[in-house]
Structure 1
Amino acid sequence: MRILIVDDHALLRAGVKHILSEHPDIEVAGEASNGAEALARIQAENWNAVVLDMSMPGKSGVELIKQIKAERPKLPILVLSMHTEDVYAVRTLKAGASGYLCKDNAETQLAQAIRKVAKGGLFMSQAVAEKLAVEMLSGTSDAPPHTLLSDREYQIFQLIARGRSVTEIADELNLSVKTVSTHKTRLMQKMNVANVAELIHYAIRHDLVPEENRMPE
């Protein structure tokens, strides 16, 4: 199986290659450090699966997934992410990914996950599967406010809840401060919160941010 690794950190790409070097049926045949490189390689070559990091500069991971699926609808995408939140995983799967694996579990589960998605299957934890099923079966009228955010709004919501300032978010996502501020205003309106403190409290109450990454209330 020819695999494309997409991650902006060379060290992490090397780690993935090292893990997969023990599995002769899986060949890391290409690497990309950003979304533009990934799309160029996907358009130019044939792949059995893409292993995609979610936290890269520029396009959000969800946006990149949608763009890849628009170019290659049948190409399986396995998301390899530092984020453990179930809601974040559900968003990637609804965008078109075939699997979601936390980097903490990569050493033991990566090869298994790649094989499964490359053969047309889905790979996710039981908690993610349950949350995905609930969201797919329930209507949006009773959906929690955070599930109604756009992909970019949700990404910025996550970063605010982790304590990032508007300027820091703009630098991290390669956006203007004005653009981030506009998204911040819209997401707070959608979530019906008056200030950042209420937003952080919401994130903690709904267990949307790991405890070690939370900004104090």
Structure 2
Amino acid sequence: MLRILIADDHTVVRRGLKQILLDEFPTADVQEAADADILLKKVMKEEWDVVISDLSMPGRSGMEALQQIKLHNPKLPVLILSVHAEEHYAIRVLKAGASGYLNKESAPEELIKAIHRVLLGKKYITPSIAEQLASSLDKDNEKPLHEYLSDREFEVLKLLASGKAVSDIADQMSLSVTTVSTYRARIMAKMNLKTNADLTLYAIENKLI
């Protein structure tokens, strides 16, 4: 029996995805996880054929969950389904071991196509992501500054640039205020920025928010 695990903090999204999947795979066992911690517990305890996960969830991020899943079971296909535009996260998640990246605005048919492909052990890469991958190989020395940040630093950058306070980010990411402040300091140093206003301006200019 095909076993699919959906991880998303929005019930409506999970139920919608579940229905789409059951329409295509009527005999599949499709289960849900409301956050990354539940996702990881289920992955560690049970066998799955494919995981579909959001990136932005309370507590641990989908990126962190992806990395943990790959350490536990490198062969388990993980599809990332996110509201974030492909150019912001697609390359990062593929490098972290994801089998594919889809925007939540994608048609249901594209999701089904992606699942069929990753079940064969292949990557699902849209034409636009393929173009990004080719471009990143050609322009490795011309990468924008945010490309040099770690995944966690990049996540903090986006939250700071969107106007969130350090304390709010700490709550959202289940980190201490001190840890978030350390990430902020690293980001500022790596990108040669001085204030949050500079950071926000950079994010706007580079279409990160």
What is the TM-score when the length of structure 1 is the normalising length? 0.87
Distance in 2 between the 1:161 and 1:129 partners?
28
Secondary structure, counterpart of 2:106 in structure 1: helix
Superposed counterparts of 1:10-49, under 5 Å: 10-24=11-25, 27-49=28-50
Report the Cα offset of residue 163 of structure 1.
2.2
Distance in 2 between the 1:204 and 1:98 partners?
29
Aligned residue type for 1:204: I
Moved over 6 A (4+): none
RMSD of aligned Cα (Å):
1.9
Partner in structure 2 of residue 131 of structure 1: 132
Report the Cα offset of residue 40 of structure 1.
2.3
Residue 46 to residue 136, structure 1, CA distance change in 2 (3 Å): farther
| Residues 3-48 of structure 1: CA deviation (Å, up to 9, x unaligned) | 1111222222111112222113672432222223222222222221
May I ask how many residue pairs the two structures share in their alignment? 208
Partner in structure 1 of residue 169 of structure 2: 169
Distance in 2 between the 1:106 and 1:161 partners?
30
Residue 28 to residue 109, structure 1, CA distance change in 2 (3 Å): farther
Identity among equivalent pairs (%): 45
Distance in 1 between the 2:173 and 2:29 partners?
27
Report the Cα offset of residue 185 of structure 1.
1.3
Partner in structure 1 of residue 91 of structure 2: 90
Distance in 2 between the 1:183 and 1:5 partners?
30
Choose 145-154 or 59-68, whichever is displaced more.
Answer: 59-68
Distance in 1 between the 2:158 and 2:74 partners?
28
In structure 1, stretches of 5+ residues that fail to align are 210-217
Distance in 1 between the 2:27 and 2:99 partners?
17
Residue 25 to residue 122, structure 1, CA distance change in 2 (3 Å): farther
Partner in structure 2 of residue 197 of structure 1: 197
What is the TM-score when the length of structure 2 is the normalising length? 0.90
Report the Cα offset of residue 72 of structure 1.
0.7
Residue 144 to residue 19, structure 1, CA distance change in 2 (3 Å): same
**Is the CA contact 1:166–1:180 (under 8 Å) kept in the aligned structure 2?**
yes
Residue 47 to residue 90, structure 1, CA distance change in 2 (3 Å): same
Report the Cα offset of residue 66 of structure 1.
1.2
**Is the CA contact 2:100–2:114 (under 8 Å) kept in the aligned structure 1?**
yes
